[in-house]
Amino acid sequence: MTEKSPESWREAFFNSPGPQTLKQVLFLALKGICMGAADTVPGVSGGTIALITGIYDRLLAAVKSVNVRMCDRLLHLDIKAAVAELHVRFLLALFCGIAVAVVSLARLMNYLLHHYPQLTASLFFGLIVASIWVVGRKVKRWGVAVSISFFAGAAAAFHIVDLVPTATPETPGFIFLSGMIAICAMILPGLSGAFILLILGKYEFITATLKNPFDPVNTGIIAVFAAGCAIGLAGFSRILKYLLDAFPNSTLAFLTGLMVGSLRKVWPWKEVVQAKIIGGELRVLYEHNIMPESFDAGVLSAFGLMAVGFVAVIGLEKLSEAKTWH
């Protein structure tokens, strides 16, 4: 028996899962802003924010709602039924928040990373340490298999963050591919999509277009990149959803390991060992983490920001536990 299509746009819109009140919409959009802010920073993942704010499963389920059934309804121009099938209210509120953060903070993040690298990295270090604590507690039982997953995740992230950013083409095909790969990292806690773009040589290229998104050339680039993101997200989210449902402890342990391994990238104090001109810009080929030589005001400020980042994540988790809609 064919399911009856909604009779009105209002019915179609409110039949889809998502926040019910304006307060819930604004709160979900705020989580999206936090995710978008994280995704603009190499070394910090929006997926981490989604996980600690309690919307990770809903995000994967919402993305999974873009399925064959919904697409078939679109092809048959049954738009109302397609809207009802899609988790449109959830996605609309969340991605509006993400878009606002990405567009508005791209310039600020570039400025902070270039002018205050240690202080910025310190804040992110605190954010990730707290995220490790929050996500690690979600693992209900630790055994041999779960521990192996944890160490595999840590080793993978530890290796990935050591890769050297390279110069790559600016063709539509490669921009599309970059979007597909980066979005997979963006929804993985601990693995930064921004850093993957940096490795692919497209971080500054993409963030530059976001500074003036309504320029016709930039709009075209953003559209191609967004299309790649959409395809990558639709496929990869299904894999993640399956793993979280079938192997929750091992998957969460792997994600926790990813965050532990990524700490290497955001440790504030580094010593450059080797650098090289790549694509007309000076790129660090190898560096290692060091301890600060003296505990002056700058170092104390850095540790203070670590504490601020840690407390912010714990506070966000507590707030989410109290306010998350069901």
pLDDT (tens digit per residue) in 172-212: 999 999 999 888 877 777 666 777 787 777 877 887 887 78
- Residue 4 falls inside a structural domain: no
Q: Which residue has the tokens 């050591």?
A: 162
Q: What is the mean pLDDT of residues 277-288?
A: 67
Q: What is the pTM of this model?
A: 0.73
Name the range with the highest mean pLDDT among 23-37, 66-80, 159-173. 23-37
Q: What's residue 282's pLDDT?
A: 66
- Residue 1 falls inside a structural domain: no
Is the pLDDT assigned to residue 3 strictly greater than 60? Answer: no
- Residue 3 falls inside a structural domain: no
Is the pLDDT assigned to residue 69 strictly greater than 80? Answer: no
Q: What's residue 85's pLDDT?
A: 74
Q: What is the mean pLDDT of residues 112-130?
A: 84
Surface-to-core class of residue 325, CB atoms within 10 Å of its CB (0-12 exposed, 13-18 middle, 19+ buried): middle
Q: Are 90 and 236 in contact (CB under 8 A)?
A: no
- Residue 112 falls inside a structural domain: yes
- Residue 34 falls inside a structural domain: yes
Q: What's residue 225's pLDDT?
A: 93
Is the pLDDT assigned to residue 152 strictly greater than 70? Answer: yes
Range in 182-186, 221-225, 251-255 the model is least confident about: 182-186
More confident of the two residues 172 and 12: 172
Domain of residue 207, residue span: 9-323
Instruction: State pLDDT tens for residues 289-317.
Output: 888 888 888 899 999 999 998 998 888 77
Surface-to-core class of residue 308, CB atoms within 10 Å of its CB (0-12 exposed, 13-18 middle, 19+ buried): middle
Q: Are 44 and 266 in contact (CB under 8 A)?
A: yes
- Residue 167 falls inside a structural domain: yes
Closest CA to 236 of 191, 303, 269, 276: 191
The structural domain count of the chain equals 1
Instruction: State pLDDT tens for residues 76-99.
Output: 777 777 777 778 888 889 989 988
Is the pLDDT assigned to residue 326 strictly greater than 60? Answer: no
Mean residue pLDDT across the chain: 81
Q: How confident is the model at residue 1 (pLDDT cuts 50, 70, 90)?
A: very low
- Residue 185 falls inside a structural domain: yes
Q: What's residue 317's pLDDT?
A: 75
